[in-house]
A and B are shown apart, each in its own frame.
With several copies, the nearest count.
Chain A
Amino acid sequence: MPRVTFREDRCKGCELCKNFCPKGIVVMADHINAMGFHPATVVEIEKCTGCAICAMMCPDVVIEVEKEEKKVG
């Protein structure tokens, strides 16, 4: 299962990640962070493909994506 990490304090709640996630698993949290924004987070991480599209579209470099390494050969 891939891992998607949000640096919550940096999130500005712009929703670009949420919009572009092909699996629709990024949602905005109910609480607000120190900057006053509802930060993004992933639900149903098991649906995540680790495509990193969310991260690619994040203007604030909030997101890191990790994936299991494929066995070679």
Chain B
Amino acid sequence: MKKVFERPKSLKDMPFHYCPGCTHGIAHRLVAEVIDELQVFEKAIAVAPVGCSVFCYEYFDCDAYQASHGRAPAVATGIKRVLPDRVVFTYQGDGDLAAIGTGEIVHSAARGENFTVIFINNAIYAMTGGQMAPTTLLGQKTTTTPFGRDHKLNGSPVRMSEMLSVLDGTAYAARVSLHNPANVTRAKKAIKKAFEVQIAGLGFSIVEVLSSCPTNWGLPPLKALKWLEDNMLPYYPLGEFKKPAEVI
């Protein structure tokens, strides 16, 4: 018998603390699979954010940092500038990356910092109890938009991948989703490309991953995926927004 699917080596053998059906877990696994496949486990350094995925430093079995909220890209900059041959990646939520960490992500991209960002967009501040994120959809009810997000009051959701693609330093930017198997497969490909871009020294790479938060969306796991598909996909188009010529 041949294993056609098994736990990646780079993922420590311990249970996740995530809620049932939370796709943070799938994203973790994909990153670990890519690290395995590219055989960069020994060189990998993960930078964990503040958010539900704060403990990802435990799950990825590589060396790791826990960064302050939003600053993972600055921390990664510090690491990568000292150790340019290591494979450095941040794993950040939408509150972390698109709100408090806007300056850090924009300027890491502008500087073309040669690390990879896994950006989990679940349209919510999950860890702190379901508040509006910059990526929360119009009309979406959260604990701080009890009547639904309203453009007049809160503005409109930001499309980070598109925005970062404007910057010359961004070498690779893609948006993927985890709502069904076909998209999970595509997500993995994008993550792999992002790491390859880094390994080739081509500059800043980011993969925005549309992800579910059953708990704070108040939906069972399957319905959450359906909600993602029905509501997030129309606003957040999937695809590669930028890729270097060097990468196939």
Q: B176 to chain A: closest CB distance in Å?
A: 14
Q: Are A16 and B225 in contact (CB under 8 A)?
A: yes
B11 at the interface (CB under 8 A from A): yes
Q: Are A68 and B20 in contact (CB under 8 A)?
A: no
A64 at the interface (CB under 8 A from B): yes
Task: Say what secondary structure dominates the interface of chain B.
Answer: mixed
Q: Are A19 and B2 in contact (CB under 8 A)?
A: no
Which interface class (under 10, 10 to 19, 20 to 34, 35 or more) fits A?
20 to 34
How far does the alpha carbon of A65 sit from the alpha carbon of B4 in the complex, in Å?
6
Chain B: CB-nearest residue to A19: B222
How far does the alpha carbon of A1 sit from the alpha carbon of B15 in the complex, in Å?
29
Chain A: CB-nearest residue to B185: A56
A20 at the interface (CB under 8 A from B): yes
How far does the alpha carbon of A42 sit from the alpha carbon of B12 in the complex, in Å?
25
Q: Are B1 and A68 in contact (CB under 8 A)?
A: yes
Q: Are A69 and B25 in contact (CB under 8 A)?
A: no
The answer to whether residues A14 and B20 also contact, given A53-B181, A57-B26, A61-B11 and a CB cut-off of 8 A, is: yes
**A52, A53, A63, A66: which contacts B1 (Cβ < 8 A)?**
A66
**A13, A50, A52, A60: which contacts B25 (Cβ < 8 A)?**
A60
Q: CB within 8 Å of B: which of A1-60?
A: 2-3, 10, 12-16, 19-20, 37, 50, 52-53, 55-60
Q: Are B221 and A66 in contact (CB under 8 A)?
A: no
Chain A: CB-nearest residue to B22: A59
B128 at the interface (CB under 8 A from A): no
Q: Are A16 and B2 in contact (CB under 8 A)?
A: no
How far does the alpha carbon of A53 sit from the alpha carbon of B15 in the complex, in Å?
20
Contacts between the two chains (Cβ within 8 Å), count: 78
Chain A: CB-nearest residue to B1: A66
B147 at the interface (CB under 8 A from A): no
B18 at the interface (CB under 8 A from A): yes
How far does the alpha carbon of A20 sit from the alpha carbon of B222 in the complex, in Å?
10
Chain B: CB-nearest residue to A57: B181
**Across the interface, which residues of A come within 8 angstroms of B26, CB to CB?**
56-59
How far does the alpha carbon of A7 sit from the alpha carbon of B44 in the complex, in Å?
27
The answer to whether residues A64 and B3 also contact, given A14-B20, A56-B185 and a CB cut-off of 8 A, is: yes
Q: A18 to chain B: closest CB distance in Å?
A: 9
Q: Are A15 and B222 in contact (CB under 8 A)?
A: yes
**A3, A10, A15: which contacts B221 (Cβ < 8 A)?**
A15
Q: Are A69 and B21 in contact (CB under 8 A)?
A: no
A-B contact sample (11 more), CB < 8 A, given A14-B20, A59-B26: A12-B19, A50-B4, A56-B5, A57-B184, A58-B26, A59-B22, A59-B25, A66-B1, A66-B2, A68-B2, A69-B1
Identify the 10 closest CB pairs spanning chains A and B, nearest first: A59-B25, A14-B21, A12-B20, A52-B5, A55-B5, A65-B5, A14-B221, A66-B1, A14-B20, A69-B2
